[in-house]
């Protein structure tokens, strides 16, 4: 960074604080982001701001992708855009290389997805000779069979399960209700859970709630999200799978495996309860990513 660029940054910080009235923590964040940008320019032997091309900005953002979430990258790009607008207005530069740069809103981080073999390993972890194990196996089977969010699962009531017809009724985001089919294997484990569910009922004063809530914790109460995560965490750890697995991973795997086996994207959207199909399309990217990995692994000239 040459002296002119250093002065430009200093003037920009003054502009943010005095003319834009930004609080100190915001100006500090902008300074950190832009200094990171300057270090990138130095490392790539780009000696002046005037010699930066749009492709340099894009490469910088892709480098950030390895360390930061899309929302953080978008914020850093916003800082650069504000900086370049200032440079143009103050005639440090005559053009803005950020104009043609798309915001990283489409750079969604690909979700962790288990293979079908890994899902089977996870499903078989609970010790089903115990009541807790039967309940946890039923939970895992239902999560994978339906793609429910964990918040949707813990809110299920007994009346939401239709074993005869093979579906559940759940409320998703915005209290929107949807019907999701359930396979015979998951229903089988649900039936086993129904047999021992009464053992989780503890306090008579909560009998009405216990009669409604599908999955009960060891205190005979409705699971919290954290409580359900704790109940499943030990099973996830016991798989030995070196991936960041959460209950939501089964939702991702549910959608990905359906698409890999030829399911229509619109159907998967409906099953997941996505209001916009663009949210569902990330799973097609996961599938393409898997195809690329297979190609690299097996093609002799990949």
Active site residues: 149, 173, 248, 251, 274, 283
Sign of torsion over alpha carbons 4, 10, 12, 15: negative
Please tell me the distance from the alpha carbon of residue 268 to that of residue 253, in angstroms, as a whole number.
12
**CA distance from start to end of the chain:** 40
How many Å separate Cα 299 from the centre of its chain?
Answer: 31
Strand, helix or coil for residue 162: strand
Q: What is the CA radius of gyration of the chain?
A: 26
Tally of CB atoms within 10 A around 72: 14
Burial degree of 202 (CB within 10 A; 0-12, 13-18, 19+): middle
Residue from 186, 176, 120 nearest 152 by CA: 176
Please tell me the distance from the alpha carbon of residue 68 to that of residue 71, in angstroms, as a whole number.
8
């Amino acid at each position: 960074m040459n002296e002119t660029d250093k002065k430009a940054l200093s003037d920009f910080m003054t502009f943010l604080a005095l003319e834009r009235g930004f609080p100190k923590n915001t100006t500090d964040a902008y300074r950190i982001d832009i200094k990171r940008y300057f270090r990138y320019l130095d490392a790539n032997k780009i000696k002046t701001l005037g010699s930066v091309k749009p492709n340099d900005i894009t490469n910088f953002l892709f480098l950030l992708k390895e360390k930061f979430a899309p929302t953080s990258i978008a914020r850093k790009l916003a800082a650069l855009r504000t900086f370049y607008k200032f440079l143009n207005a103050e005639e440090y530069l005559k053009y803005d290389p950020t104009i043609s740069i798309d915001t990283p809103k489409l750079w969604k981080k690909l979700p962790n997805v288990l293979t079908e073999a890994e899902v089977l390993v996870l499903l078989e972890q609970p010790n089903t000779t115990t009541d807790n194990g039967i309940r946890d196996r039923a939970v895992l089977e239902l999560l994978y069979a339906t793609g429910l969010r964990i918040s949707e699962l813990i809110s299920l009531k007994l009346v939401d399960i239709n074993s005869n017809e093979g579906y559940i009724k759940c409320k998703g985001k915005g209290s929107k209700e949807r019907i999701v089919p359930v396979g015979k294997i998951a229903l089988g484990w649900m039936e086993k859970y129904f047999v021992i569910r009464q053992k989780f009922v503890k306090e008579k004063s909560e009998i009405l709630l216990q009669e409604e809530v599908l999955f009960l914790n060891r205190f005979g109460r409705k699971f919290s999200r954290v409580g359900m995560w704790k109940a499943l965490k030990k099973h996830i750890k016991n798989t030995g799978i070196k991936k960041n697995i959460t209950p939501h991973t089964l939702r991702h795997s549910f959608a990905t495996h359906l698409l890999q086996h030829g399911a229509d994207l619109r159907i998967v959207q409906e099953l997941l309860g996505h209001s916009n199909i663009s949210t569902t399309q990330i799973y097609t990217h996961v599938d393409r990513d898997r195809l690329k990995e297979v190609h690299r692994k097996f093609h002799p000239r990949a």
